Structure formats: C-alpha cells, structure tokens
Amino acid sequence: MGLRELKRERTRRLIADKAFELFSDHGFGRTTVEQIAAAAEVGPSTLYRYFPTKETLVLEFVEDCLADAVTWFRGQPELDLPDGLRAVIEQVLQQLESNPDRVRAVFDLAEQNGSVSAHLNDLIWRFRDDLADALVRRLRADDPQRAEFIAALSAGITMNVIESVVRVWVDHPGTVEAQTLARQAMHLLTTRALPLPSSPTTH
C-alpha cells in the first residue's frame, strides 16, 4: 500500500472512529454528517467520498471484516472447500473480536434504528452472495444449476454460523469467546447433533 493509500485509509478510519464517538454521545439520529466531518477535521464533501450515508459509517468495520474474508477465500484456490469455509468463519470472528465495543455498538444501533438494521441485513446478504459466487467457481461445472444451489446453501450455512455466534457473543459480553462458540457450532453441524429438517420419504 502506497503513501496515498495509507493516508486515505487513516482518514477513513478517523472518520469512522469520530462518528462512533458522536453516536455514543448523542445517538445516531441526532448526529449530523456536519458534526462528524468537523470532529474528523474534514469537509462534508470529503466525508461523503468515503461514506455515502451515515449507515455505511456504522457498518464500515463489519463490512471490512466480511469483505476481507471473501477476498482471502478467493485467493486460496488450492484449499479444500470445507477447510476454507471454516477458515472464513474463523477469520471473520477473529477480526470482529479485535474490536468488541465497535461490534456491540453496531448491533445496538441496529436494534434502535430501522435504517441501520436494514443496511446490516443487506450487508449480510451481500456477503452470502459474494461467498456463494466464490464457491461456485470452485465447484464442478458439469451441472451449473446444481453447483449454484450447493454454493448458495454452503454460503448460507457459513453466514448463519457467523451471525448466530456473533449475536450470542454480543448478548453475553465477557462470558464466552466467539471462536469457542464457532467451534461448538461446527461440531454440532458435522456430527449432525442439530435438529435439522429431515429428507422427505419417497413412496
């Protein structure tokens, strides 16, 4: 990363950090873009270049964690798919655990604000779709429709593990580690210890 890119990334992080300070002090709805820009010592137009909406400011950290994991997965073409999906889960959770206060603030804001909640759901679906796209490129293409179906199911399960783990971790701060919950979840899945829908019987 060059000096210009480093400066942009520092500015981006500073804006996001100042935004969360203001959200914590004044609430999401009462905090204006102008206040965030002033706190970060940038102009509103500069802020909008980095973050088109306040909602994207809220979700910046979570979005980066998810996007980084998909990018990493795309760069591991030789990795066994089950191992790769486990690594995606572990990587996302490791990054989220590096800033627990930010993650909990995101979920608190999502509960309080319908717009933030909607954007968070969109982000989750986008991650699922991006991961499914990366998966389908790795599956056998003799039956493209089946490959797309399997990729969508695998990506959905991966995202559900992440989301379920994070919600329990957020709701019970200091009592359980996200990585521990993830290992439990994957053990339950691989040992078929979860009550899953049964296959329909044929007559």
Reply yes or no on domain 1-52 having CATH 1.10.1380.10. Answer: no
Domain spans of the chain? 1-52, 53-190
Residue 34 neighbours by CB under 8 Å, 6+ apart: 44
Whether 1-52 shares its CATH topology with 53-190 is answered no
Angle 149-133-127 from CA coordinates, rounded to 5°: 105
User: How high does pLDDT run on average in the chain?
Assistant: 90
Contact of 141 with 147, CB cutoff 8 Å: yes
What pLDDT was estimated at residue 3? 76
Tell me how far the alpha carbon of residue 40 is from its chain's centroid: 25
Indicate whether 203 pLDDT > 60. no
Contact of 178 with 96, CB cutoff 8 Å: yes
Indicate whether 123 pLDDT > 70. yes
Tens of pLDDT, residue by residue over 150-184, are 999 999 999 999 999 999 999 998 888 999 999 99
What does the CA dihedral 179, 184, 186, 192 come to, rounded to 10 degrees?
-170
Output the DSSP codes for the chain: --HHHHHHHHHHHHHHHHHHHHHHHH-TTT--HHHHHHHHTS-HHHHHHH-SSHHHHHHHHHHHHHHHHHHHHHT-TTS-HHHHHHHHHHHHHHHHHTSHHHHHHHHHHHHH-HHHHHHHHHHHHHHHHHHHHHHHTTS-TTSHHHHHHHHHHHHHHHHHHHHHHHHHHHHSTTT--HHHHHHHHHHHHHTT-S-PPPPPPP-
CATH number of 53-190: 1.10.357
Q: What is the pTM of this model?
A: 0.87
Indicate whether 2 pLDDT > 80. no
What pLDDT was estimated at residue 143? 86
